[in-house]
A = this chain, B = another copy of it.
Amino acid sequence: MNAPLKGIVAYPITPFTTSGRVDEALLGRIVDDMVKAGVHAIAPLGSTGVLPYLSDEEREQVAEVVIQRVAGRVPTLVGVSSLTTERTLHHARHAEKLGASAVMIIPMSYWKLSDAEIVGHFDAVARGISTPIAAYNNPATGGLDLSPDVISRLLEIPNVTMVKESTGDVNRMHRLVQLCGEDVAFYNGSNPLALAAFVAGARGWCTAAPHIIPKLNLELYEAIQRGDLAGARRSFYRQLPLLRFIVAHGLPRAITAALELMGTTVGPLRAPLRALPPEHVAELRQILVELEVLPGGRVS
């Protein structure tokens, strides 16, 4: 089984210029900073990267910029999901051509898909590429909830080798291990579940938090790796207020606001998404002060 990812899998936002185009320079810099900070993989075009809000051309542009900038220093996991099977396959092939280490697919819903439709969707894409595929379950965004049973069926497709679970329910992960065995390559996509998921056996943590606190993210992973339960717990609770905040307010809104607070000018979110309202920015600022990401003292 070819599961090329582990550790901290960092999800960059897609920054825009003031005129609303993809800001390639800033995107490259964000990715570079993440790699230099030590993250174990880079995953462009995730939910954080507002994949579904981009045109086909912009999606290809983002994939190219990121893969070029990473330049093989760490693996890349490229989001290729679309509502139709045909478009998903198109993007998967493009990512493969660019040299992505793996692609990620979240089955998206307008009409709820039957289990047979979900399996057929993955199967059709998987037949068209040879790159490893991560199945992504996130009912809160995709609108479909893949049961552990369906996920175990997806993992029987030869190059569907990984699963990212973002329901935020650790019981799903336990069930997956029961169904698929302890070697199943599952990854956690729910930030506040980082500790419980690693303890349950997750190979990696898919997170946008490395925009802000990469060292703490890595510290938690390393504590788990050396079996240091007390250290992992301490590190987790330190990060938890930020992890809860970015999930509660939507990753693109929250990460953009944090970058702005930290001095990086990011362009406007793509409508209908809007910037984090001022009262929540103030709350975020306080969290960043407590994490010593921002200097303390008087909080405006």
Contact = CB atoms under 8 A, between A and B. Distances in A.
A98 interface: no
Interface stretch (A28-36, A62-70, A129-137, A269-277): A269-277
Contacts of A174: 192, 237, 240
B196 A272 contact: no
A178 B143 CA distance: 30
A107 interface: yes
A189 B272 CA distance: 24
Given A111-B141, A121-B271, A227-B229, A178 B85 contact: no
Contacts of A251: 111
Interface string A259-288: 000000000001111100100000000000
A299 interface: no
Nearest to A114: B274
Nearest to A88: B272
A2 interface: no
Contact of A227 (B47, B118, B230): B230
Interface stretch (A4-12, A149-157, A165-173, A207-215): A165-173
B117 A273 contact: yes
Nearest to A237: B177
A177 to B, nearest CB: 6
Which of A118, A124, A174, A195 is packed against the most chain B CB atoms within 10 Å? A174
A142 B111 CA distance: 9
A124 B59 CA distance: 25
Quickly give the copy total for this chain.
4
Interface residues of A, number: 64
A52 B110 contact: yes
A266 to B, nearest CB: 16
B196 A170 contact: yes
Contacts of A193: 170-171
A8 to B, nearest CB: 18
Contacts of A201: 233
A113 interface: yes
Given A110-B47, A237-B177, A84 B272 contact: yes
Contacts of A178: 237, 240-241, 244
A270 B84 contact: yes
Contacts of A143: 109, 143
Q: Shortest 10 CB-CB distances between A and B: which pairs?
A: A121-B272, A85-B271, A196-B196, A52-B110, A227-B229, A117-B272, A143-B143, A199-B199, A111-B250, A170-B196
14 contacts: A47-B111, A52-B83, A52-B110, A85-B272, A110-B141, A111-B252, A113-B273, A116-B274, A174-B240, A177-B237, A178-B240, A178-B244, A199-B232, A224-B229
